Structure 1
């Protein structure tokens, strides 16, 4: 065989192998859009500045422009008042634009007729801080809240009253009227109509769907639920899929309307009234937004592959269907997506941090026009008069309400804080364009099940021929791996757009992406791109910066419609492609180009995860950045921190609390510095008192530190921490180490030690199946197991940067 024939045959075989191994997917965009319904909902209002909020059948509008709320749940009563501001800033840095918070009735009216709004219960102060930092608020009024709080937030003294709670009994409603009146006093001047940040209130919680157990009970007794006798048969203890049959639906709707009228009578008039809409719960028909939920690792049911990683039309087919309302009349707004979950004695679910980004990308790609996290920020359930307010009868921790949340019990950041920030930045810049776009599903979506981990999970949101392609590769409670040699083609009204433009890509395990097609970014029309939009920045003089990030497994490329006049192409390559202009860059590198007055910069995802958008600039650091308005704070557990600023700055930068040194820029258009903290070593003395009890004595060498975290690496059933004989926090083991932030206890620790009591795991404990395999093997081999490893302290530094 001649050399040329051999090469031809080899090329043919390689091409044949690639074609046979390639997975091709297609999606046809629809010609028509669903009709938008307006003016049918009793929602919306204006503030004194003339700004307006309104709601149509598909999305919320702010000043007649689509608005995409990103809601993070944070319970003010579960966190120290003196650290509220720092936590609000952490949420803002994470891309949250609305804070949701329960008002737990039993925290505030522990004794009938006596309300307490002091210290950690100071709702007025909390809302004022939100206003100072431009954060909207949705106040969850109750009267019933749940939230794993004692009686679901209902005061104990209601149990002994001659009426049923959560009913239309006039005496019960009189108490609700007084509660709403007290809340209204706290929110005076803070409502949107008065120029305040409170844009909405939630009425009740899961009415005619869920209840909490009364804590006034006895060991071994069947649980009594916080619900009227009429609704007992349609009410569950937690979120569930129901049969949709509710003989008391009319009464339920009436009760919700009564609550709304009581709220308005007390001056609680806001643009948005919300009601939990999942599982056939009652709402205010055409008078509230029925918000949705999604928990992948629930503590109330057995683990199984969840359907929440399958794309769908989530507005027409909400999760936890059936529902009590006409889905065509309302936008899909998620209020309770679980980026973590609580643990309890009998169940120890372990939420994989990598599970959250795919869950939220799926939810947005499926058509949600608002997302909300429960919880976004963990905390500690309060203790009043030596009485625990946790849901004890269900086996919840006495104090710990960490929830494995993006921001933990003591304000510590988890990996999902950073991955979700990327999605939030995208929504902040492009949510107004995304909201009118409707979900388009491929034909392959009809047959896919949670157990199918080999088929690509994807959908698009489009309007006309433009939109965004959403893809994920994740499934809970299943083994899955990288999907190789993929190609997706989107068929518009007049062309076929391929991702990538030629060849294939890999979608790595647990990876996600949101890719634009026919989207106008400033002066350039992106026909397609394998890089994800991150944010856009405005500079003086009309200069705009569009920032994207590349994703491992997808070679970064941008196809611009037609022949584009590109200038200052940095580190990338440009070529003509089928009459269009294709720009490519190297994986893991920064590259950029300019068109007109616009700069387009592509960064690796690893760098994007370190990004913070402050004052129309991007800051990148391995620490945390907080925008305190007067200055920017950097918080970090590392002594050495990179700090990159884009676009670059030409003004002096100073710092207090650390040293700042300029160095060579990581790329054109960036300013680069090193922030270095002086090392502090808080000392800890650990003494074993007996097999299950330890004593920790900490030095007071905390000067200049923002916090000190104690890491306890143990394997056991649970741990409890005491100061001066009082329980200050606890921990139910689920495979992760125990982390305690000590600044909340600093004053007490100056005079007292911290005592730790631990308990072993027994092989007959019901949660054993939730633990890592190595832990199960240890317990089963000996019948009972406890082991304690290293205890160490981790300093957290803080400095202020001024420009």
Structure 2
């Protein structure tokens, strides 16, 4: 076989500097490899007796499951699901945000139907505006997304009463039980919901493939069966019926009635402790075949053990709540880091997940209630005090549609799953012969493999939130396959601190070619006029190398584009294909989607949306409004500000003409009131600190913020950096949104209310943060009090305009 390491392939092709000689030379014994046994036959999947709904659409395409994965049209599929709550976002912006989810690699949008958002007054339903569920599902279909509807009636989602209307709690029956009066109210809710969704189910040619009943339910299984019965009578007929399953139930659920779904979060806002990473959160960074997470919702469910149900292996491993971020509660101000999210998602993949479902994928803002505010609070006998308006969740797509850094990290994982997922879905997860003793073990490398006994992928994770994970040296893998033991790489590898990624082995390329192994992560495949192009990315902290199978070789022909190189190769039969290596740090600019009738790879540092014949770019930096494609479109790209295309090596580049130079627009900021004494923080009924009430803001420091004169970009934000307890942004007396200080910026849109903001300005109120506040804050977020009893400081406020460019295919 032909082996190409960094010296004669990656560095040569990318033009980097040769590394220093390795320490392992003559007379030095190689370290013993890390071993894993994949030689046993892979158990055949079992279809089982699953009692799901109609599985076939009018075109004859089926959506079914067996014990291993989802099957679409009888073929294995590995979709990615992302949560987005329609009632927490303006309806006129849904379509663009759904397209951004699609661009991020999401295949299925999951959404809650919050009962209190629709029937706040008994018998009076509201399905209008941002509550228009039917329109949301129709737009999801337009965006090319499937839909899973989480029906409740109890949802949680950090909504008032978990989504139950106040009037339900005032009735003389116990909610979430089979009390006849409660089931009668649920029957009315499901009936209304079913009417909204009529004709949108998979069987009708619609996008809805799943329905979830209840949430985090630990009562008797009979109640879930009654909810399923009521829903089906209301027209809820889906290929998948689901429930959350990270908790026990008071009685067993008969097999096959409802699919169990799982999840994991890097850290939660719900714990009672005021310390970092309490409980079992570290387990989420360990590869394990056990599916149950012991850390989700410990406030309401109590301490749990990691124990799966006896029949769990008869179901596919699906997830609906892999943390795409985390809300800060008043008493726990979680600050997420991008690698928290990337790592916990990768670990789920390497542990066997065949449906990556993210909660939340898109943040939002609580709607205004007619009778009350709509957030969870201790005042309503719930476990945590949450922001009145904000449900940003530090998600990949934020409260106002901003792109988080981990949007791109997850997008690369999702890109991998789009092209390699069907193959991966057939491969069970296997653990190595030596695994970490627990999450405190930072010395043993964390890794796993998913394999069919002949080929597969190695998953490596050397990251854990808030824990020092030293580099692992001398790393080689020895995987016992059915017909051989594959040991790689040839020279021992260092897995750097914080490094994580996916290595392929025995990966077929170009038809009959073979990548024997690589310490690069597959990104995607592209078919260009019958020639396959395989994109591989370098991994931060891991030296890249690659080995081809016998008869697969490089021809020496290459093309370069900034940060990537395409190498021509041939297979044993003489077929040509391309291997494209992408530098770490450049890979985040790669996208893949269909445009002008063919799949294409895009390279841009801007946000990207493809909408029919349009490419839309957006970002804070106008200089980044450029995109390069492979292959270039077959028709000319036009637009009012499009520069002529030019070849950039492997790619064809299009750019927007830069806007004329203009002075930076600045906000006018005037302090109206200094902060009063910090309030006394009371402990609420659930044993944690209470958030401030409206009246407490009378003692807040107050600023008036005015926009500059002149036109603004179509989308614009105000970005506030401050030190304090809680910040609120008002227009007049109306609360736009709020923020529990956690050290990150407080951002809010101004374009939605531009006329009113121009007239009235924004009123910013910040409460002082006590030095002795009974809350958890990350060390890096804690202000410097300098001996003072409290701090209240506006550090900066800036106007952020989102620049945009649109390229259109010439239809002539």
CA distance in 1, matches of 2:517, 2:482: 15
Note if contact 1:203-1:260 (Cα within 8 Å) is conserved in structure 2.
yes
SS of the residue 1:383 aligns to = coil
CA distance in 2, matches of 1:440, 1:660: 51
How far has the Cα of 1:568 moved from its partner? 5.5
Does residue 192 of the first structure (1) align with residue 177 of the second (2)?
Answer: no
Alignment CA distance shift 1:437-1:316 (3 Å) = farther
How far has the Cα of 1:748 moved from its partner? 2.0
Deviations 1:169-224 (A, max 9, x none): 1111111111111111111111101000000000111111xxxxxxxxxxxxxxxx
Note if contact 1:285-1:325 (Cα within 8 Å) is conserved in structure 2.
no
Deviates more, 1:384-393 or 1:272-281: 384-393
How far has the Cα of 1:432 moved from its partner? 0.8
CA distance in 2, matches of 1:693, 1:657: 43
SS of the residue 2:232 aligns to = helix
* Corresponding residue number in structure 1 for 2:156: 146
* Corresponding residue number in structure 1 for 2:677: none
Deviations 1:487-506 (A, max 9, x none): 22222233332332x21222
The structure 2 residue matched to 1:609, chosen from 588, 596, 604, is: 588
* Corresponding residue number in structure 2 for 1:360: 345
Does residue 350 of the first structure (1) align with residue 320 of the second (2)?
Answer: no
Note if contact 2:71-2:77 (Cα within 8 Å) is conserved in structure 1.
yes
Alignment CA distance shift 1:99-1:351 (3 Å) = same
CA distance in 2, matches of 1:786, 1:490: 57
* Corresponding residue number in structure 2 for 1:385: 370
User: Structure 2 matches for 1:423-438, cutoff 5 A?
Assistant: 423-438=413-428
* Corresponding residue number in structure 1 for 2:516: 527
How far has the Cα of 1:698 moved from its partner? 0.8
Alignment CA distance shift 1:693-1:453 (3 Å) = same
* Corresponding residue number in structure 2 for 1:57: 67
Does residue 593 of the first structure (1) align with residue 593 of the second (2)?
Answer: no
Does residue 409 of the first structure (1) align with residue 399 of the second (2)?
Answer: yes
Higher relative contact order (CA 8 A, sep 6+): 2
SS of the residue 2:100 aligns to = helix
* Corresponding residue number in structure 1 for 2:643: 660
* Corresponding residue number in structure 2 for 1:794: 800
Note if contact 1:199-1:271 (Cα within 8 Å) is conserved in structure 2.
yes
User: Structure 2 matches for 1:515-554, cutoff 5 A?
Assistant: 515-523=503-511, 524-539=513-528, 541-554=529-542
CA distance in 2, matches of 1:19, 1:715: 56
* Corresponding residue number in structure 1 for 2:444: 455
The structure 2 residue matched to 1:34, chosen from 22, 38, 43, is: 43
* Corresponding residue number in structure 2 for 1:159: 169
User: Structure 2 matches for 1:199-598, cutoff 5 A?
Assistant: 199-208=209-218, 252-281=220-249, 285-301=255-271, 302=273, 303-304=277-278, 306-315=282-291, 321-324=306-309, 326-385=311-370, 387-393=372-378, 394-445=384-435, 447-500=436-489, 502-523=490-511, 524-539=513-528, 541-564=529-552, 566-567=554-555, 569-570=557-558, 589-595=564-570, 596-598=575-577
How far has the Cα of 1:279 moved from its partner? 1.5
How far has the Cα of 1:644 moved from its partner? 4.5
How far has the Cα of 1:740 moved from its partner? 1.3
Alignment CA distance shift 1:512-1:440 (3 Å) = same
SS of the residue 1:640 aligns to = helix
CA distance in 2, matches of 1:13, 1:360: 34
* Corresponding residue number in structure 1 for 2:735: 727
CA distance in 1, matches of 2:183, 2:424: 41
How far has the Cα of 1:798 moved from its partner? 1.4
- The two structures, once aligned, show a CA RMSD in angstroms of 2.4
SS of the residue 2:410 aligns to = helix
CA distance in 2, matches of 1:658, 1:481: 49
Note if contact 1:556-1:587 (Cα within 8 Å) is conserved in structure 2.
no
SS of the residue 1:387 aligns to = coil
* Corresponding residue number in structure 2 for 1:775: 782
CA distance in 1, matches of 2:786, 2:549: 63
SS of the residue 2:540 aligns to = coil
Alignment CA distance shift 1:544-1:664 (3 Å) = closer
CA distance in 2, matches of 1:400, 1:708: 18
* Corresponding residue number in structure 2 for 1:739: 747
CA distance in 1, matches of 2:610, 2:180: 48
CA distance in 1, matches of 2:781, 2:235: 57
CA distance in 2, matches of 1:18, 1:486: 15
Does residue 129 of the first structure (1) align with residue 139 of the second (2)?
Answer: yes
How far has the Cα of 1:566 moved from its partner? 4.2
TM-score between both structures, scaled by the size of structure 2? 0.86
CA distance in 1, matches of 2:781, 2:318: 40
TM-score between both structures, scaled by the size of structure 1? 0.87
How far has the Cα of 1:592 moved from its partner? 1.8
Alignment CA distance shift 1:479-1:556 (3 Å) = closer
Note if contact 2:291-2:308 (Cα within 8 Å) is conserved in structure 1.
no
How far has the Cα of 1:392 moved from its partner? 2.6
Deviations 1:72-113 (A, max 9, x none): 000000001111011101100100000000000011001111
Does residue 752 of the first structure (1) align with residue 722 of the second (2)?
Answer: no
CA distance in 2, matches of 1:56, 1:87: 32
CA distance in 1, matches of 2:515, 2:546: 7
User: Structure 2 matches for 1:684-723, cutoff 5 A?
Assistant: 684-691=667-674, 692-699=701-708, 701-703=710-712, 705-723=713-731
How far has the Cα of 1:266 moved from its partner? 0.8
Deviations 1:220-251 (A, max 9, x none): xxxxxxxxxxx5xxxxxxxxxxxxxxxxxxxx
SS of the residue 1:269 aligns to = coil
SS of the residue 1:142 aligns to = coil
Alignment CA distance shift 1:799-1:140 (3 Å) = same
Deviations 1:142-195 (A, max 9, x none): 000000000000000011212111111111111111111111111111110100
The structure 2 residue matched to 1:72, chosen from 82, 87, 95, is: 82
Alignment CA distance shift 1:147-1:444 (3 Å) = same
SS of the residue 2:546 aligns to = strand
How far has the Cα of 1:285 moved from its partner? 3.3
CA distance in 2, matches of 1:283, 1:800: 52
Number of equivalent positions? 729
SS of the residue 2:193 aligns to = helix
Alignment CA distance shift 1:160-1:386 (3 Å) = closer
CA distance in 2, matches of 1:205, 1:349: 23
* Corresponding residue number in structure 1 for 2:684: none
* Corresponding residue number in structure 1 for 2:612: 629
SS of the residue 1:77 aligns to = helix
Alignment CA distance shift 1:315-1:392 (3 Å) = closer
How far has the Cα of 1:486 moved from its partner? 2.1
CA distance in 1, matches of 2:46, 2:240: 17
SS of the residue 2:759 aligns to = coil
Segments of 5+ residues of structure 2 without an aligned counterpart are 1-20, 296-304, 379-383, 675-700
Does residue 670 of the first structure (1) align with residue 651 of the second (2)?
Answer: yes
CA distance in 1, matches of 2:235, 2:23: 75
Alignment CA distance shift 1:13-1:82 (3 Å) = closer
